[in-house]
């Protein structure tokens, strides 16, 4: 378990993520429990309770009989994290790069559309948190908020990181723009121009969604 008193923490170039587990164990001594269970199945149950029916079905529905969804989930089981024992981990790091951008961990926020069906502020809180953590944030063409507002929220998160005690350990996470190419070329250019001027450094071009998949529950409601 991570030790907050370890003299090696100061030599690491990423935040001590592992301390979150220790902090929660110690908080139990004072009767404090985490705000939610981090097990994916428990998070899914909580989301179903909190969201509207339409919001839940939009987020959870899969096309057809969910065969592709199942195959995608099973694909992860083919990749293993193999532990190595009795090696020096005093100066370990979770930093990596994507498209030439340095990020604090190999995780990012994927483009998800219509966020206001989940939360009144839409994409803004998520974009801000991505900026605070120094991880990539991707905005969907189908986002609920203007491109410029999402960029501003992400920038606000970056400033929080810059002013924190962990500032030297949190790189400036990039932001990407996911494009569903419209039939109107002028609209396409307008979206890309706005994204570029708002600091989105890469375009994620979606080519396999010429129409929505047939998601039974989503269509039925």
d(CA 97, CA 171): 10
Tokens matching residue 160: 């929080």
Q: What is the pLDDT of residue 1?
A: 56
d(CA 104, CA 10): 16
Q: What is the pLDDT of residue 166?
A: 87
Name the pLDDT band for 221 (thresholds 50, 70, 90): confident
Domains plus CATH for the chain? 9-220 (3.20.20.70)
- Dump pLDDT digits (tens) for 161-177: 999 988 889 999 999 99
Q: What is the pLDDT of residue 103?
A: 96
d(CA 116, CA 221): 18
Q: What is the pLDDT of residue 174?
A: 96
Q: Please provide the size of the chain in residues.
A: 221
Q: What is the pLDDT of residue 10?
A: 83
Share of the chain above pLDDT 90, in %: 63
Chain-wide mean pLDDT for the chain?
Answer: 92
**Listed residue (178, 185, 177) closest to 208, CA to CA:** 178
- Dump pLDDT digits (tens) for 18-37: 888 888 888 888 889 888 99
Strand partners for 103:
96
- Dump pLDDT digits (tens) for 119-151: 999 999 999 999 999 999 999 999 999 999 999
Dihedral over Cα of 178, 107, 64, 67: its sign: positive
Q: What is the pLDDT of residue 3?
A: 80
Q: CB of 111 within 8 A of CB of 138?
A: yes
Position with higher pLDDT, 194 vs 81: 194
């Amino acid at each position: 378990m991570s030790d907050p008193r370890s003299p090696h923490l100061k030599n690491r170039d990423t935040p001590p993520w592992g301390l979150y587990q220790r902090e929660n164990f110690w908080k139990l001594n004072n009767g404090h429990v985490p705000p939610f269970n981090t097990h994916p199945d428990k998070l899914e149950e909580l989301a179903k309770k909190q969201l509207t029916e339409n919001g839940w079905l939009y987020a959870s529905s899969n096309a057809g009989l969910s065969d592709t969804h199942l195959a995608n989930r099973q694909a992860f089981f083919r990749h293993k994290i193999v532990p190595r024992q009795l090696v020096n981990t005093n100066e370990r790091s979770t930093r990596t790069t994507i498209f030439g951008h340095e990020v604090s961990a190999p995780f990012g926020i994927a483009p998800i559309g219509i966020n206001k069906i989940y939360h009144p502020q839409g994409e803004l809180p998520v974009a801000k948190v991505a900026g605070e953590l120094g991880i990539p944030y991707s905005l969907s063409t189908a986002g609920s908020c203007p491109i410029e507002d999402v960029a501003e929220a992400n920038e606000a998160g970056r400033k929080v990181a810059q002013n924190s005690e962990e500032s030297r350990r949190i790189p400036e996470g990039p932001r990407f723009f996911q494009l569903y190419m419209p039939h109107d070329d002028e609209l396409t250019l307008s979206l890309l121009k706005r994204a570029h001027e708002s600091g989105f450094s890469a375009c994620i071009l979606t080519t396999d969604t010429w129409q929505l998949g047939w998601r039974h529950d989503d269509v039925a409601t």
